[in-house]
Structure 1
Amino acid sequence: MDFAYDSTLVSNELRLLQPVAVNNQFLRFKTRRVKRESRTPYTAVSYTWGNEDASEVIYLDNRRFYVRPNLWSCLFYIAQAARNAAWDYLWVDAICIDQTNGAERNSQVRLMDQTYRDAVCVSVWLGLATLPEDILRHLSTQMPIKRVESDGFDWFDSIVDLSNRPYWSRVWVIQEFLIGRDVNLYCSDSQVNWTYFQDLICRETGINQFYDARHDSPLRDRRSARAALPLVMGRHMDKHPEILQPLCDLLIDHHKSECKDPRDRVFALLGLITTHERGFLSIYFPDYTLTEDHVRIITLAHLTQFPEESRMARNGENITPDSEELFLGLGVGPKSERKRLLRRARKIDYLSGNSPAQILNILTSHDQMEEYEGEDWEEQEEVYGTEPRRSLTKTWLIMFVIVITTLAVGWWIAKTNYLKAALRAVGT
């Protein structure tokens, strides 16, 4: 029988996993609901979801639950570490949040930063140790490789590979890695603390411990460990945990990060923005009932109308369609689309104190106006090419032909009737 969530979590609750049996055949966990303030010792797992199908089985409360191969491997090794750890439970977003329950998902994502802050430590899963090519050639490609023991594995020898793995490119891991009290990194069954990992990156790239990934350049032209630098070096002892930044800065600094859901480009950064900004944005976000378009419009309204702490305001710059890295941070490429979003954002009185429902009504009404009234021809051509104008011209041409034809037919009928009447008059 498949696992079913018992009921919706409320905001002050967490769902945790307690390892029961961890072996090569079965991964069994017991679920437990706890109050956030109870401080039950747990580790918050940070990992890459991946694109594979959920083909692997674990057991929650003796019922089947399907996960992706990468998560199966992650649970297998991190759950084993619980035997000698300062924590007894695991928190894993894909399991501990009912992803099919919109209300639960919204409330839990809203407190995601607290979930990672309250954890004894954050456990970062970088994946399995890389197998030598000669071994890979002899393995079947039909079954996913879920376990690779780390015999002879050396973190320094593998630092180039580890610091450029997909984990470092995901937008959600930014806050997960930065705000945890402590961070341990795993590769197969090998584990190191973040301070040691940072030291390895400094040695490999030739930079000093106080390197600022946002502003400094490495001492040597080495690109091998760049992907991990912004996060690993962002945990300077003299900075952490005072790492809150304006949303504009975060969108720009992490514009290359990736996510499956474009709305997460904003939602995943909420735990890192300044308290002042979050007080405004938390009225609207996170809310997965909002469309991608609406999330971007509200965000731009915030950045343009509430700019006190914005990088743009500090540098005396306005947000324009040419604000390249900012719009890439929002996942928007074409300048025509940027113009449209900025135009829509200007129509929202963001600081008016409107409720989320009122803002949504305004956005929806504007959607309808765009759909039925259309935009001006110049914007249409930029967004869609010349088709709208051609289509409109064709429509007018058809209407013109119909009108002329109707008039011609009417004239012919009138003329025919006139001639018939004249003939009848002559006959009489």
Structure 2
Amino acid sequence: MSKFDYKSCALPSSTTHIRLLQLRLAEPTTTPKSTTSPSNGSLVCELLTTPIAAPLKFKALSYTWGTAEKTSFLKLNRTQLNITPSLHTALQYIASQQEDIYLWVDQVCIDQSNGAEKSEQVLLMSDIYRKAEQTLVWLGPAADRSDELMDLWLDIGQKAEKTAGGLESYFTKEKIHRLLEIMESRSVDDPLTEPYHQLVDEARPRFEDLMQAIVDLDERPWFHRVWIVQEVSLCPDTVLVCGHKIVPVDFVRQASNIFAAALKQSMRSNPGISFAQLALQAQSHRLGPLLSTRKRRQRYANSKGEGEELFHLLRKLFVESDTRATQNRDRIYGLLALAVDAEQLGIRPDYTTLNVASIFTHVARAMIRQGRIEILSFSQFPKEKDIEGLPTWVPDWRPNLAPSYYTIFESAEEHLLGASGSTQVSMLPKMVQDVLSIRGYLIDSIEEVGNVWHASDDHASYLHLFKTLQEFCSKSATKDELIYENPLRRAEATWRVPIGDLYWDPEVDYIRARKPLVEDAYHECVKISEIIVAGERQLTAEEIRRSPSGRYRNSMSGMDGKRLYITRRGYLGMCPDPAVAGDSVVVFCGARLPYVLRARGEEDRHTFLGEAYCHGMMDGEVLGRERERTFFIE
């Protein structure tokens, strides 16, 4: 059989038309749908074109390519098109369940060898998934009790929609605290309370029995792909398909809310370590955040809420999250259909250029120009080696980036920090493509740094950090510099610096550190560490966790991977790991945090090192002390 040639099904225009796959089996299936095997019939298909403005009725497929080797094939328009084995398996299952459907599948419907066509078709992804009758999310064949889990999601999801459907209306800034009260107590006087708790009681033993199945499903490759986020979010009617089981994704989201509450109760009544470890794995599954993104997108599509900017999507997927893409540029392109500011940022997919670094640089520059200077916190080192020529200030958006120590929910919280005061981001016109020319203020140069500190270190490491900071405070006091209004303000650095002046309070979330609450918690933290290191007595993990000392230690986690520093004039703070004596602490116009730069030898040329905290310079104090200047960062 001859090889399929896309010229035989050319698009009138790749900006206005798409291809659809007409899918059917060559012969009737003899395999019952209740089994875990697909039909053994061969796939005979046709490929046709349709305008995206008014397409034929079709369904879209979300799946994972698996291996890049295309060792399986379709009989397509009397020719043969090679495809990946994972897609072949998915199409066999779907063909055995749904007769003669039109399907949009990226691997088949886009000429993957044509970079120009691919670039233009990616721009249509939003329309493709929005206009599809249904999106089929193929998770793979049944395995590891997945059939039982799918049945449970379907059952609890349906009941949640009927009996606790009011839950959805409580996910607002005004009512969320009421929902938390309902979840915590059966005695709350609210129509939702009793049906909600009855459903949790019913679901709890069933979810406990299937926690390992949840963990196993979460490890399937589909959950790690960057493209799935838009694929599962855009179409109003989206279903999960696993083997021969099908569950509407919104039922899964409803069931996940019940599961979270049930699991909380389970952990209280099952103190065993092995149960707690398994419960923690099941609780941190990727499906929850993914479905919350879908919910937000659907609300935006129905004019009931705001959408998400590209910055928020990138942070959600690549910061402390293992999201992957076959091509590095797809870390950006895979999210454009969801980003409400994609057009404003001027980002267009380009699969023809070999210079991937230029794509990341353009995106970073565009976001900073729009005021998103906080993306600099995610330019971390070492950079990925296969993105050659990436400037030091540009994030590579690789999986599992470290979080910034300063993160807020902009739609619900007020800002707590503002190092640049009321200034706005100020960039010079682009002189050199890779150089960030930005206005800001030089605070001071670093004189000395401490050891790199990690939140997972032992109590001796905590004590060493506290002692080093006390020594730096003493050195600062000996300098003849009026940088702190009084000695007491300088002394506050001992308990403000280790937490970046942000303290976690269970009643109100994060707050600015204040006396005597945080200062007392700091002293208790020091005392407990001294007791443990000295071996005077053994404290239980519960004692440590529940005390103010435990809250202070928790607040310190934001400084994980940073170093203490003192500047030439006596400023105190925390700086990124690569920083050394001689590097500069700066505040850019429009930035809420300071950053650290390193001079390159040329006048005003620098490399970027990372975010910092500077005691006494987090509320715009720099405006009245330093002269504005331009930094050129390469």
TM-score, with structure 2 as normaliser? 0.44
Query: Post-superposition shift, 1:347?
Result: 8.8
Query: Post-superposition shift, 1:169?
Result: 1.5
Change (3 A) 1:331 1:192: farther
Tell me if 1:91 matches 2:104. yes
Question: SS where residue 118 of structure 2 aligns?
Answer: helix
Question: SS where residue 53 of structure 2 aligns?
Answer: helix
Select between 5-14 and 175-184 the one with higher mean Cα deviation.
5-14
Select between 73-82 and 38-47 the one with higher mean Cα deviation.
73-82
Query: Post-superposition shift, 1:246?
Result: 1.4
Question: SS where residue 224 of structure 1 aligns?
Answer: helix
Question: SS where residue 299 of structure 2 aligns?
Answer: coil
Tell me if 1:81 matches 2:97. yes
Question: SS where residue 70 of structure 2 aligns?
Answer: coil
State the alpha-carbon separation in 2 of the partners of residues 382 and 38 from structure 1. 49
Question: SS where residue 39 of structure 1 aligns?
Answer: coil
Change (3 A) 1:55 1:333: closer
Change (3 A) 1:160 1:202: farther
Q: Match of 1:356?
A: none
Query: Post-superposition shift, 1:222?
Result: 3.2
Tell me if 1:260 matches 2:326. yes
Choose which of 100, 103, 107 in structure 1 pairs with 2:120.
107
Per-residue Cα deviation, 1:256-289 (whole angstroms, up to 9, x for no partner): 3110111111111111112xx322334x411112
Q: Match of 2:16?
A: 12
Question: SS where residue 16 of structure 1 aligns?
Answer: strand
State the alpha-carbon separation in 1 of the partners of residues 234 and 93 from structure 2. 23
Does the CA contact (< 8 Å) of 1:265 and 1:331 recur in 2?
no
Q: Which amino acid aligns with 1:306?
A: Q
State the alpha-carbon separation in 1 of the partners of residues 262 and 235 from structure 2. 24
Per-residue Cα deviation, 1:107-150 (whole angstroms, up to 9, x for no partner): 10011111111101111010111169xxxxxxxxxxxxxxxxx9
State the alpha-carbon separation in 2 of the partners of residues 268 and 19 from structure 1. 26
State the alpha-carbon separation in 1 of the partners of residues 81 and 97 from structure 2. 22
Does the CA contact (< 8 Å) of 1:243 and 1:272 recur in 2?
no
| Larger helix fraction of residues | 1
Per-residue Cα deviation, 1:71-124 (whole angstroms, up to 9, x for no partner): 1111111233323xxx93100001000011122111100111111111011110
1:322-401 mapped onto 2 (5 Å cutoff): 323-324=377-378, 339=392, 341=394, 349=429, 363=433, 376=600
Change (3 A) 1:289 1:280: farther
Choose which of 282, 286, 305 in structure 2 pairs with 1:224.
282
Tell me if 1:295 matches 2:348. no
Change (3 A) 1:341 1:61: same
Select between 152-161 and 182-191 the one with higher mean Cα deviation.
152-161
Choose which of 258, 277, 285 in structure 1 pairs with 2:348.
285
Q: Which amino acid aligns with 1:249?
A: H
Does the CA contact (< 8 Å) of 1:2 and 1:65 recur in 2?
yes
RMSD of aligned alpha carbons: 3.8
State the alpha-carbon separation in 2 of the partners of residues 331 and 339 from structure 1. 11
Query: Post-superposition shift, 1:331?
Result: 6.5
Question: SS where residue 31 of structure 1 aligns?
Answer: strand
State the alpha-carbon separation in 1 of the partners of residues 315 and 385 from structure 2. 13
Does the CA contact (< 8 Å) of 2:300 and 2:307 recur in 1?
no
Tell me if 1:167 matches 2:167. no
Query: Post-superposition shift, 1:39?
Result: 3.3
Question: SS where residue 79 of structure 1 aligns?
Answer: helix
State the alpha-carbon separation in 2 of the partners of residues 381 and 16 from structure 1. 49
Change (3 A) 1:64 1:122: same
Query: Post-superposition shift, 1:348?
Result: 8.0
State the alpha-carbon separation in 2 of the partners of residues 302 and 119 from structure 1. 31
Tell me if 1:201 matches 2:201. no
Question: SS where residue 339 of structure 1 aligns?
Answer: coil
Q: Match of 2:526?
A: none
Q: Match of 1:239?
A: 299
Question: SS where residue 287 of structure 1 aligns?
Answer: coil
Q: Match of 2:60?
A: 44
Choose which of 218, 221, 243 in structure 2 pairs with 1:188.
243
State the alpha-carbon separation in 2 of the partners of residues 80 and 240 from structure 1. 35
Q: Percent identity?
A: 26
Q: Match of 1:54?
A: 70
Q: Which amino acid aligns with 1:222?
A: L
Per-residue Cα deviation, 1:172-225 (whole angstroms, up to 9, x for no partner): 1111111112101111122111122223433433379xxxxxxxxxxx963315
State the alpha-carbon separation in 2 of the partners of residues 48 and 26 from structure 1. 21
Does the CA contact (< 8 Å) of 1:159 and 1:201 recur in 2?
no
State the alpha-carbon separation in 1 of the partners of residues 150 and 141 from structure 2. 13
| Larger strand fraction of residues | 2
Does the CA contact (< 8 Å) of 1:159 and 1:200 recur in 2?
no
State the alpha-carbon separation in 1 of the partners of residues 105 and 73 from structure 2. 15
Choose which of 125, 137, 140 in structure 2 pairs with 1:127.
140
TM-score, with structure 1 as normaliser? 0.64
Q: Match of 1:2?
A: 3
State the alpha-carbon separation in 2 of the partners of residues 299 and 128 from structure 1. 38
Structure 2, unaligned runs of 5 or more = 27-38, 153-209, 264-277, 396-425, 437-598, 610-634
Q: Match of 1:72?
A: 88
Does the CA contact (< 8 Å) of 1:164 and 1:227 recur in 2?
no
Choose which of 12, 26, 40 in structure 1 pairs with 2:42.
26
Query: Post-superposition shift, 1:35?
Result: 1.1
Question: SS where residue 226 of structure 2 aligns?
Answer: coil
State the alpha-carbon separation in 1 of the partners of residues 219 and 254 from structure 2. 16
Tell me if 1:177 matches 2:232. yes
State the alpha-carbon separation in 2 of the partners of residues 332 and 299 from structure 1. 19
Q: Match of 2:446?
A: none
State the alpha-carbon separation in 1 of the partners of residues 364 and 227 from structure 2. 20
Q: Which amino acid aligns with 1:303?
A: M
Structure 1, unaligned runs of 5 or more = 133-149, 209-219, 313-317, 351-358, 367-374, 384-428
Q: Which amino acid aligns with 2:289?
A: P
Q: Match of 1:135?
A: none
Question: SS where residue 216 of structure 2 aligns?
Answer: helix
State the alpha-carbon separation in 2 of the partners of residues 298 and 54 from structure 1. 33
Q: Which amino acid aligns with 1:112?
A: M
Q: Match of 2:314?
A: 251
Does the CA contact (< 8 Å) of 2:135 and 2:239 recur in 1?
yes
Change (3 A) 1:300 1:153: closer
